[in-house]
Amino acid sequence: MTKKVLESELFIMLLFAGAVLTMPLWLAPIGAGYPDLMQKFAIFGLFAIGYNVLFGLTGYLSFGHAAFLGVGSYAAVWSFKLLSMNVLPAIFFSMIFSGIFAYMIGFVSLRRSGIYFSILTLAFAQMSYNLAYSVLTPITNGETGLQLTLNDPRILDAASSNGGALPSPTLFGLKMSGFEGFYFCAVLLIIGFFIALKISRSPFGLVLKGIKSNQTRMKFTGFNTRPYLITAFVISGMYAGLAGSLMAVTDPLAGAERMQWTASGEVVLMTILGGVGTLVGPVLGAGIIKYFENIFSAFNDRSLHEVLAFLPDGMENIVVTLVRPFVGEGWHLTLGVLFMLVIIFLPGGIMQGIDRIFGKSKKKKAAEAAAATARMGEEQHG
Amino acid sequence: MAEAEENTVLHIADIHKSFGGLHALSDVDLQVKEGTTHAIIGPNGAGKSTLLNVVIGRLIPDTGAVVFDGEVITGKTPHEINQAGVARVFQTPEIFSDLTVFDNVIVPILSKRDGSYKFNPMAKLSAQKEAHDEAMKLIADFGLKADDPSGSLSRGDKRRLELAMCLSQHPRLLLLDEPTAGMSRHDTNSTIELLKKIKEGGMTKVIIEHDMHVVFSLADRISVLAEGRIIADGTPEEVKANPVVQEAYLGG
Amino acid sequence: MDAILLQILNGLDKGGAYALIALGLTLAFGTLGIVNFAHGALFMLGAFCAVSIQSILTLSKKVKDESVTFFDAYKETPYLEIWFPEIGPTIIDWAVPLSILIAIPVMLLIGLAMERGLIRFFYKRTHAEQILVTFGLAIVIQEIIKANFGANPIPTAAPDIVAGSANIGSLVGLSDNIVYPWWRLIYLVFALVVIGGVFAFLQFTTFGMVVRAGMHDRDMVNLLGINVEKRFTIVFGLAAVVAGLAGVMYAPILPPDYHIGMDFLVLSFVVVVVGGMGSLGGAVAAGFLLGILQSFASTNEVKSIIPGIDQIIIYLVAVVILLVRPRGLMGRRGVMED
């Protein structure tokens, strides 16, 4: 196959859609073929794809994206409460509200760049989190989290009563649980991926990359970089809102902890682990992290001993003691270690690793190295 | 402020700029005629780069104004000034070193075509036929390769690339900040030839240069800047003959 | 008037903690050019120094309780009290002040190890990468603490002698209404002493002069043939000690848990930005200022006017400052102004 075919949109989309839709098949052997987990892959994949539109293309490191995720969740649950259990209005309103919210935060934060931008987004996310817990309780229901109740008006589908039980989200009557739920999220993931692919290959996307590479030059080349950055910020905020609403679709509950800045850290990690600025990387990163979170956090002493039973007794105990802190409750420790290792040794993420293994032309590598050193030099002086 | 003469495309009118107590520019008044190459020379720290920064909107002067093509551009943002038709080559090449040569060249073409902001995330970059062809032609003219990562180019090639990026916008005014600094004699000569060729196209240029060989090969008019003031202004011959200049700069 | 004075006092101890952490952040940033998101973790480690010392000192065994005569009763008695009935209880009582002595070398070692083992490889990498790797380190440290000490806050008592409150009002001849816990007063004084110490160190020692010169122009100092790198490493250790001490002393005020570091880190970064990135004086001033501001925002009067303001006041101030005066209150011109 020629390079042209391999890089064509159609080919990439077919490959991606094929891989996503057949997930139940090829994930089954590694124990991840069940809908709940795969749904998570899709949701966090969307979150990371959107984050990458900002961080990957423009290089602006936001620590506030969890806030948009939270806004999306709240908006979706409110849509379930007030309008209908149909997921489409919920998704629509989530994206609208998170987009507006992102516009407001981006409008202010993007007046600065670099570390100042990071701290501004961090401050806004922290404010949102604190407010969601305190004065905004009428909207967010504070610590308890926003939930469905039987007395919710649900004006659009008031006629259908659920026999006294809480209703669950549907797509025109189709229940959003099990494989239906997964395929719904999977289709959205594919659409989201397609849009990100289009963006990165559009003139608009090239301008964003130009901003990442050399914002000064962009300004002296006649580009008004601010609206470009705000647009990218809003787009990535809307992706986060979509992911947040899908979380509410899976489980109609929204809590403020989703907005905490450590949650923003997680999406940064997913993007970096997969490969910042690459197309598939963020999805891959999200999948890997959610997969290992699922496996690692499920372990406890007993299951560890079972798994390691093939070892001689003494050895088994030692290994269990060594491994124990990293699994179960200790999953975050593994996450932190992983975070450090990736940034230290593989700042380009898994996609860079794959490139290294399967070899890239030497010329390109040398070029990258040269570019990297040049950048370092500039930063030192600048 | 002196009245703008006929054919003046750039009028730098009575500019003052100081940093803290230091007067970087005082009473600078310059007129650049359409289609000419105007060199600004002067010792280090004379305020040459500051002057260019004032023109492109990177610095805002304390007093005075810059008039480009009959319109005051002082106080406008750099992108507005660029869109009005002013492009600049920097002393250290400002290119997109993470991108390929092709991307580097097509970005300014898009800016010229689409203006300072256009939201077209669903358009295909590879389908922008005219812009694509124009970029490819320019890259070939400059002896560069479209697929090369620009970060790994030699210093001289980076300068050439930056020049190509600026020319791709067909600016009415091109500002060049020491375009041959650090170049070998051979590269310098080929750059001179290149700039001469551009001159035939009628583009106005303002050039800052230390290398007198370059200055006297290209300039139609020379202004000498020393300690933030213009101490001489005239044709190359006049400036060469000016005793003040000889003392201050050419070293007698 | 009294109420205002009281609120100022209330803000000062928290402000002291912000100032100490922000001071260390600024030192690391100004000298090494490192944006250290693990600095809050150092504060937390300091607090857990106090917790550890306290739990080591109170290692106990079951001893028969002689006061109960009807049946055999046992109570936990610390070894220290068994071995040294005279001074044992006093030593335990003074666990927190004692911890300071232990914390200084421990934090210094941790700081040096961190700089040599990790940070120095990141001098030439982007700020984003520095933020991310130290963020990862912060997670690692906090999870280790969580694994060893659990997730709940651990109360750590100040010595009994300073347990009560000082009637500051009558001490300085004002109203009796102004009472303030002794320990928080001590914290404030302690913070001022440490800050004064750091400034004196930088101002009056040759070492400090070189460091300040290096902060200003690293290449120049290198040209003079002085090994700045080595001194900067020590400065990083110093920053770790300052953060650690701030943590040790804060333990009796707020029972430490594993995420106390992150909580303070975010606020301290905001403090640094408000004070002006790279300005030591700015960091200290902004620390106290924001502490006081927060304390005022927490009063019922203010909260009734603007609900929720206490939760966001610091961030709000930071946003405003960053937008109208990007280099902060006292930041040097041109330092990360963009």
Would you say residue A369 has pLDDT above 60? no
- Residue C104 above 90 pLDDT? yes
Return the pLDDT at C172.
66
**pLDDT the model gives residue B112:** 92
Answer whether A123 sits within 8 Å of C315, measured CB to CB. yes
The pLDDT > 70 percentage for chain A reads 91
Residues from chain B that touch A212, judged by Cβ atoms under 8 A, are 98
The tokens describing C230, both together, are 């080595």
Angle value at C-alpha A25, between A20 and A30, nearest 5 degrees: 100
Which residue in B has a C-alpha nearest to residue A277's C-alpha?
A: B98
Report pLDDT digits (tens) over C268-304.
888 888 888 778 889 999 999 999 998 888 888 888 8
In this prediction, residues B99-109 reach a mean pLDDT of 95
- The ipTM value here is 0.91
Fold of the domain spanning A20-270: ABC transporter involved in vitamin B12 uptake, BtuC (1.10.3470)
Q: Is B53 part of any domain?
A: yes
pLDDT > 90 in chain A, percent: 48
| Inter-chain CB proximity B97 and A209 less than 8 Å | no
> Which range among A97-111, B136-150, C177-191 shows the weakest confidence by mean pLDDT?
C177-191
Is C132–A122 a contact, with Cβ atoms under 8 angstroms apart?
A: no
**Position with higher pLDDT, A274 vs C180:** A274
Number of C-beta neighbours around residue A149 at 10 A: 7
Range of the domain at B44: 1-75+210-252
> Strand, coil or helix: what is B2?
coil
Q: What is the pTM of this model?
A: 0.88
Q: CB C323 to CB A261 under 8 A?
A: no
CB contacts, 8 Å: C143 with chain A: 330, 332-333, 336
3-state SS string for B3-68: CCCCCEEEEEEEEEEEECCEEEEEEEEEEEECCCEEEEECCCCCCHHHHHHHHCCCCCCCEEEEEE
Q: CA A17, A22, A26: angle at the middle one, nearest 5?
A: 130
Output the 3-class SS for C115-138: HHHCHHHHCCCCHHHHHHHHHHHH
Q: Cβ contacts of residue B74 below 8 Å, gap of 6+? A: B54, B60, B61, B64, B65, B66
Backbone angles phi, psi at B72, to 5 degrees: -70, 125
- Which residues 158-177 in chain B show a CB within 8 A of chain A? 165, 169
**Where do the structural domains in chain A lie, given as residue ranges?**
20-270
Residues of B in contact with A216 (CB under 8 A): 94
Q: What are phi and psi of B14, to 5 degrees?
A: 50, 50
In chain A, which residue's Cα lies nearest the Cα of B128?
A203
Residue C336 predicted with pLDDT over 70:
no
Contact between A76 and A248 (Cβ < 8 Å): yes
Q: Kindly report the nearest CA distance between residue A84 and chain C, in angstroms.
A: 31
Answer whether A336 sits within 8 Å of C137, measured CB to CB. yes
pLDDT in tens, C49-79: 999 988 888 887 777 777 777 777 777 777 7
Chain B residue numbers with beta carbons less than 8 Å from the beta carbon of A371 are: 97-98, 149, 151-152
Number of A to B CB contacts under 8 A, please give it: 122
Go through A290-324 and write b for each residue having 16 or more CB atoms within 10 A of its CB, e for each that does not. bbebbebeebeeeebeeeeeeeeeeebeeebeebb
Q: What is the mean pLDDT of chain B?
A: 88
Output the pLDDT for position A374: 46
| Interval C147-175 mean pLDDT | 77
> What percent of chain B has pLDDT above 70?
96
Alpha-carbon gap: C67 to the closest alpha carbon of chain A (Å): 42
The confidence score (pLDDT) of residue B175 equals 94
Kindly state whether residue B180 falls inside one of the protein's structural domains: no
| B212 or A217: which leads in pLDDT | A217
Please tell me whether residue A339 adopts helix, strand or coil conformation: helix
Per-residue model confidence (pLDDT) at position A376: 43
Instruction: Mutation target for C interface from A216, A340, A346: give the one with most C CBs within 10 A.
Output: A340
Q: Give the best residue of A104, A113, A116, A331 to mutate against chain C (max C CB count within 10 A).
A: A116
Note the pLDDT of residue C176: 67
More confident residue, A220 or A335: A220
User: Binning pLDDT at 50, 70 and 90, where does residue A193 land?
Assistant: very high
CA dist list (Å): A41 to A67, A189, A283, A337, C89: 20, 9, 8, 21, 56
Would you state the structure tokens that stand for residue A283, as one six-digit string? 């999805």
Q: Does A368 touch chain B (CB under 8 A)?
A: yes
Highest-confidence segment of A1-10, A208-217, B182-191: A208-217
User: What integer pLDDT is reported at residue B252 of this predicted model?
Assistant: 42
Which of the two residues, B139 and B246, has the higher pLDDT score?
Answer: B139
Which CATH number do you get for residue B13? 3.40.50.300
d(CA C43, CA C22): 11
**pLDDT on residue A332:** 84
Instruction: Please tell me the predicted confidence (pLDDT) of residue C332.
Output: 64
Residue A229, chain B, CB below 8 Å: the answer is no
Residue A215, chain B, CB below 8 Å: the answer is no
CB contact under 8 A, A202 and B56: no
Distance from CA of B120 to the nearest CA of A (A): 6
Task: State the average pLDDT for chain A.
Answer: 86
pLDDT for B127 = 85
- Check whether A273 has a pLDDT greater than 70: yes
- The string of pLDDT tens digits covering residues A301-324 is 777 777 777 777 777 778 777 777
Q: What pLDDT is stored for residue B251 in this prediction?
A: 55
With CA atoms as reference, the chain C residue closest to A376 would be C124
In this complex, the residue of B83, B125, B151 whose CB is nearest that of residue A371 is B151
* Interchain contact, A337 vs C136, CB within 8 Å: yes
Instruction: Say if residue C80's pLDDT is above 80.
Output: no
Identity of the residue in A198, A218, A227 whose CB atom sits nearest the CB atom of B121: A198
pLDDT of B209 higher than 90 = no
Judged against a pLDDT cut of 50, whether residue A379 lies above it is answered with: no
**How far apart (Å, rounded) are the C-alpha atoms in residues A329 and A331?**
6
Instruction: Using an 8 Å CB-CB cutoff, list chain C residues near A116.
Output: 273, 322, 326, 336, 338
CA distance C183 to C253: 8
Question: B152 vs A367: CB contact, 8 Å cut-off?
Answer: yes
Which of A136 and A42 is assigned the larger pLDDT?
A: A42
- Most confident range (mean pLDDT) of A220-234, B179-193, C117-131 is A220-234
Query: Which amino acid is located at C97 in the chain?
Result: P
Give the E-state strand segments of A64-138 in sequence order. Answer: none
Residue A331 clears pLDDT 50, i.e. is over it: yes
Residue of A117, A343, A378, A379 to mutate, testing the C interface (most C Cβ within 10 Å of its Cβ): A343
Q: In A136-177, which residue ranges form alpha helices assigned H by DSSP?
A: 137-140
- Rounded to the nearest angstrom, the gap between the alpha carbon of residue A76 and the centroid of all alpha carbons in its chain is 17
| CB nearest C323 (choices: A111, A261, A338) | A111
What is the per-residue pLDDT for A378?
42
Q: What is the mean pLDDT of residues A119-142?
A: 87
Phi first, then psi: give them for residue C11, nearest 5 degrees: -80, -20
In this predicted structure, the answer to whether residue A159 has a pLDDT above a threshold of 70 is no
Contacts of A157 (CB under 8 A, 6+ apart): A84, A85, A86
Look at A5 and A71; give whichever has higher pLDDT: A71
Q: Considering only alpha carbons, which residue of chain B is nearest residue A57?
A: B98
| Distances, alpha carbon C315 to alpha carbons A121, B225, C22, C290, in Å | 10, 48, 15, 10
Separation between Cα atoms, residue C129 and residue C131, nearest integer Å = 5
Helix axes A261-274, C127-149, angle to 10 degrees: 120
The domain total for chain B is: 1
User: B82, A366: Cβ pair inside 8 Å?
Assistant: no
Beta-strand relationship, B37-41 and B221-226: parallel
Name the helix (H) or strand (E) containing A243: helix A225-250
pLDDT in the model for residue C337: 44
Q: Go through the domains of chain C in sequence order and give each one's CATH number.
A: 2-324 (1.10.3470)
| Separation of alpha carbons A286 and A192, rounded Å | 14
pLDDT recorded at residue B94: 92
Q: Is residue B137 part of a domain?
A: no
CA distances from C284 to A64, A143, A165, B239, C11 (A): 27, 34, 57, 57, 14
Average pLDDT over residues B14-39: 89
Residue with more model confidence, A366 or C244: C244
Lowest-pLDDT choice from A26-30, A116-120, B1-5:
B1-5
pLDDT digits (tens, 9 = 90+) for B215-230: 988 899 999 988 888 9
Question: Which of A120, A130, A336 comes nearest C143 by C-beta?
Answer: A336
Of B146 and A263, the structure prediction assigns the larger pLDDT to: B146
Provide the token pair at A336: 């932190």
Choose among A131, A330, A337: nearest Cβ to C311. A131
Q: Collect all residues of chain B within an 8 Å Cβ-Cβ radius of residue A225.
A: 79
Query: Which residues from A are below 8 Å from B119, CB to CB?
Result: 204, 231
pLDDT in tens, B66-92: 999 889 999 899 999 999 999 999 988
Closest partner residue to B82 (CB to CB) among A202, A222, A368 is A222
